[in-house]
Amino acid sequence: MNFYHEYFSSIATCIRSIEQDPLTLSSATRLLHETRERSGKVILVGNGGSAAMASHVSVDLTKVAGLRAVNFNEADLITCLANDYGHERWVEKALEFYADPNDLIVLISSSGKSSNIVNGAIKAKQMKLALITFSGFAADNPLRKLGDLNFWADSQAYNVVEMTHHVWLLALVDKLVADKEERR
Instruction: List pLDDT tens digits, range 18-72.
Output: 987 778 999 999 999 999 999 999 999 999 999 999 999 999 999 999 999 999 9
Q: pLDDT, tens digit, for every residue of 1-17?
A: 699 999 999 999 999 99
Global pTM value: 0.97
pLDDT at 184: 79
Q: How many domains does the chain have?
A: 1
Whether the per-residue pLDDT at 150 is higher than 90: the answer is yes
Residue 145's domain comprises: 2-183
Looking at the DSSP bridge assignments, the partners of residue 105 are 43, 131
Q: For residue 156, which of 112, 108, 117, 107 has the smallest C-alpha distance?
A: 112
Residue 41's CB is within 10 A of a number of other CB atoms, namely 21
Q: pLDDT, tens digit, for every residue of 68-89?
A: 999 999 999 999 999 999 999 9
CB-based burial label for 170 (10 Å; 0-12, 13-18, 19+): middle
Q: pLDDT, tens digit, for every residue of 107-142?
A: 999 999 999 999 999 999 999 999 999 999 999 999
CATH of the domain at 117: 3.40.50.10490
Q: For residue 67, which of 160, 155, 184, 174 has the smallest C-alpha distance?
A: 174
